[in-house]
Amino acid sequence: MDTKTDPRVAELMEFVSIPSVSAQSAHAGDMRRCAEWLVRKMESIGLAARLEETAGNPVVVGKSPRDPAKKTVLIYGHYDVQPPEPLELWTSPPFQPEIREGRIYGRGASDNKGQIFAHILGVGEALAEGPLPVNVVFLVEGEEEVGSTHLAGFLDKNRGELACDFIAISDTGMAAEGHPTLSYALRGIAAMEVRVFGPAQDLHSGIYGGAVANPATAAARLVASLHDKSGRVAIEGFYGDVEEMADWERQAAAESPHSEAAIARQAGVSELAGEAGYSAVERIGARPTAEINGIGGGYQGEGTKTVLPAQAFFKVTFRLVANQHPENILQLARRHFERHKPPGVRLEILDGHGGEPFLLDPHSPPGLAAQRALEKVFGKKPALMREGGSIPILADFEKILGRPALLLALASPDCRAHAPDENFPVENFLAGIRLNKALLHELAK
């Protein structure tokens, strides 16, 4: 069937065209419209679907007819998307999806509409063929891009109804184009902002320079204190809880199709950098980091303004690996900054959001089932991959529902999630539909 006339592709494009931007309150109506669209879609394929209110955006729940003799898989996804800005960098408008060279371009095409919709259609096709090999519960939230604020509470309140044997999620990227991938780890996150205060107001850098501590210099010195020369994080105790990679993991990283050259090309750099002693794949997936997301202070305009700034700030996020905990890392970081504070300035340290890292044993029975399904659909042994990003809700799934998640990547490594020209290969979408069906069978074994 021609891609452009495939009704499944047309339906996905309709889904993508709803501007369900959770971060922007102007889109509150679109959020509800999108959730309602999903409910109708789920009902049309034979699921018992409903919209559940939360204190934020509604959650969509869709369930197949329940056979108590069968195991149950919960499939999680999200219908909200990142803000599309900057709009001028999009080749086609973010909410008027367009197919070019086999890819659907639009905000949310990969993250997460294309991926969750493949699962929904997979279940629909399986249902059309007869009873499912496992019970299926869809849980599709509308606040993933703004921290899944109300999901843990929802899970907790509905833990009976959501009880399951497996959790499956497609919200990650393949190790290489078309290469089946099971992501068995995600990093956690801990965010912090440090504000450095000096003089009551900006001072003349000639009249006071040399006698008054400079908050911009102090902020820079604190940032510089975060790493040693080998690129390791220099916060005392930072690596204390890190579970080192097993030998098979280092082997898997070495064999990963996610090559250093590909990472450099995608990042647009000529040279990679980072902690000594680990490959780039290992540094992204299996090593914690301290990354400055923003720094600022003093004169930001053109040319020179000879001020000694009154204040400066930096924003840092730590990415964590098993078994680090965000609260502990924020505490160590706070102690580090207080200890390294240069004389003459005052610090204000603000803790931001945190999320636990995630690690699944891919050689566990559900991990093996997921790998079999991936191999069946893609005809290749799947790559085992640790992801650098964070999906903090995974830790809640594990804590509240008692099940770890299977992360079956469908996004392209070049999907531009969160960036202009986000896209999703039609091929991955159709493979995702087949993958869902294979997965239901493998999980039933």
Residues within window 297-316 making contact with a copy of itself, judged by CB under 8 A = 297-300, 303-309, 312, 314-315
Q: Are 409 and 173 contacting, i.e. CB atoms less than 8 angstroms apart?
A: yes
Q: Examine residue 203 and tell whether it contacts a copy of itself (CB under 8 A).
A: yes
Query: Do 272 and 263 touch, CB atoms closer than 8 A?
Result: yes
Stretch that binds a copy of itself, among 29-37, 206-214, 329-337, 427-435 (CB under 8 A): 206-214
CB 407 within 8 A of CB 169: yes
Extract the tokens encoding 101: 């060279």
Q: Which of 8, 70, 107, 187 binds a copy of itself (CB under 8 A)?
A: 187
Residues 159-178 that bind a copy of itself (CB under 8 A): 173
User: What span, in angstroms and rounded, lies between the C-alpha atoms of 166 and 365?
Assistant: 10
What pairs with residue 181 in β-bridges? Answer: 383
C-alpha distances out from residue 322 to 30, 183, 189, 288, Å: 37, 14, 11, 9
Verify binding: residue 65, a copy of itself, rule CB under 8 A: no
Distance CA 232, CA 225 (A): 11
Candidate ranges 60-68, 192-200, 243-251, 426-434; the one touching a copy of itself (CB under 8 A): 192-200
**Residue closer to a copy of itself, measured from CB, 79 or 318:** 318
Q: Is 73 in contact with 136 (CB distance < 8 Å)?
A: yes
Q: Does 20 bind a copy of itself (CB under 8 A)?
A: no
Those residues with Cβ within 8 angstroms of residue 37's Cβ, 6 or more apart along the chain or in another chain: 14, 15, 18
- CA dihedral of 395, 399, 402, 405, whole degrees rounded to 10: -10
Say which residues have a Cβ less than 8 Å from residue 93's Cβ, sequence separation at least 6.
87
Question: Distance from CA of residue 288 to its chain's centroid?
Answer: 16
Q: Give the range of 152-160, 327-335, 338-346, 360-368 binding a copy of itself by CB under 8 A.
A: 338-346
Using CB under 8 A, pick the residue from 127, 272, 349, 444 that binds a copy of itself: 272
Q: Which is nearer to a copy of itself, 68 or 294 (by Cβ)?
A: 294
Least distance CB 104 / a copy of itself (angstroms): 19
CB 208 → a copy of itself: shortest distance, Å? 5
Q: Which of 33, 221, 250, 376 is close enough to bind a copy of itself by CB under 8 A?
A: 221
**Which residue's CB is nearer to a copy of itself, number 22 or number 436?**
22
Which one among 35, 47, 123, 219 touches a copy of itself, defined by CB under 8 A? 219
CB distance 256 to 413 below 8 Å: no
Q: Does 373 bind a copy of itself (CB under 8 A)?
A: no
Per CB under 8 A, which of residues 66..125 are in contact with a copy of itself? 82-83, 89
Label residue 418 left, alpha or beta by phi (over 0 means left) and psi (-120 to 50 means alpha): left
- Residue 197: strand pairing partners: 311, 346
Q: Which 143-162 positions form the footprint of a copy of itself (CB under 8 A)?
A: 146
Indicate whether 271 belongs to the interface with a copy of itself (CB under 8 A): yes
H/E segment holding residue 140? strand 135-141
Size of the site for a copy of itself (CB under 8 A): 89
In this complex, which beta carbon is closest to a copy of itself, that of residue 298 or of residue 425? 298
The only residue of 143, 144, 171, 387 in contact with a copy of itself, by rule CB under 8 A: 387
Nearest residue to 81 via CA among 127, 48, 116: 116
Name the residue nearer to a copy of itself (CB basis): 60 or 417: 417
* Comparison of 2 and 302: residue with beta carbon closer to a copy of itself: 302
Considering only residues 342, 366, 404, 425, which one is a binding residue for a copy of itself as defined by CB under 8 A? 342
N-terminal to C-terminal alpha carbon distance within the chain? 32
Q: Please name which of 287, 266, 270 lies closest in space to residue 278, comparing C-alpha atoms.
A: 287
Candidate ranges 32-40, 122-130, 218-226, 246-254; the one touching a copy of itself (CB under 8 A): 218-226
Nearer to a copy of itself, 23 or 246 (CB): 23
Q: Which of 208, 242, 250, 257 binds a copy of itself (CB under 8 A)?
A: 208
425 binds a copy of itself (CB under 8 A): no
Helices 426-444 and 7-16 cross at an angle (nearest 10°) of: 100
Tell me: does residue 276 bind a copy of itself (CB under 8 A): no
Q: Rule CB under 8 A: is residue 28 a binding residue for a copy of itself?
A: no
